[in-house]
């Protein structure tokens, strides 16, 4: 694989990181989730332009891997304000830099780096999904009713007569979550 192929895979990883940021930015409320689910186009355009500038500054993907990745990580920092879990973004950026260092020092091939990036990215996405599901479960947990054999005014509850309609249990609507795949990125949206 030529140097251009390595740069293309690095570009794909940065797009994947942007999609992770879009997924991570999903908040608790539906309106907030819709607003933050996809970062605004001008922001994505700024990040893409910054990444293109990194490619121009550091055209040798193996010899300049650390400098290129540092530059690309800086452009990804533009997403930080919209991140629900900034520590996951920090983990992704640190992983990218660690792999770039191994590549530049000759301890890893570009193909190995790409495979390891995909594996580490998958772990970050899995942790994001775990946190979102835990947050959703806590937010939608129904409050247990006070079970009592007495009625509302302290008198025994009436017996259920055969043939009379019974009250339906009303439970809190559980969220419905869907996962969509965009290249290497998995995005979970709950409603």
- Residues 36-76: tens digit of each pLDDT: 446 788 889 999 999 999 999 999 989 999 999 999 999 99
Specify the pTM.
Answer: 0.58
Q: Is the pLDDT of residue 5 over 50?
A: no
CB of 76 within 8 A of CB of 93? Answer: yes
∠ CA 101-24-126 to the nearest 5 degrees? Answer: 70
- Residues 89-106: tens digit of each pLDDT: 999 999 999 999 999 999
pLDDT of residue 86: 93
- Tell me the C-alpha distance between 38 and 21, whole Å: 9
- Residues 131-188: tens digit of each pLDDT: 999 988 887 776 665 555 554 555 555 555 555 555 555 555 666 665 555 444 555 6
DSSP string covering 131-145, please?
A: HHHHHHHHHTPPPPP
Confidence label for 82 from pLDDT (cuts 50, 70 and 90): confident
pLDDT of residue 41: 86
Q: Is the pLDDT of residue 123 over 50?
A: yes
């Amino acid at each position: 694989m030529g140097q251009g192929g390595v740069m293309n895979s690095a570009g794909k990883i940065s797009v994947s990181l942007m999609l992770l940021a879009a997924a991570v930015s999903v908040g608790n409320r539906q309106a907030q989730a819709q607003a933050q689910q996809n970062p605004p186009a001008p922001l994505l355009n700024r990040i893409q332009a910054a990444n293109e500038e990194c490619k121009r500054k550091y055209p040798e993907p193996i010899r300049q891997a650390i400098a290129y990745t540092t530059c690309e990580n800086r452009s990804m920092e533009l997403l930080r304000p919209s991140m629900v879990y900034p520590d996951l973004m920090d983990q992704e950026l640190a992983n990218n830099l660690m792999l770039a260092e191994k590549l530049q020092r000759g301890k890893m091939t570009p193909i190995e780096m790409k495979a390891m990036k995909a594996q580490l990215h998958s772990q970050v996405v899995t942790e994001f999904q775990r946190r979102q599901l835990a947050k959703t479960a806590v937010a939608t947990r129904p409050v247990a009713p006070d079970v009592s054999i007495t009625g509302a005014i302290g008198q025994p509850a009436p017996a259920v007569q055969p043939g009379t309609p019974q009250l339906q249990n009303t439970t809190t609507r559980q969220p419905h979550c869907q996962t969509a795949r965009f290249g290497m990125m998995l995005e979970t949206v709950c409603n």
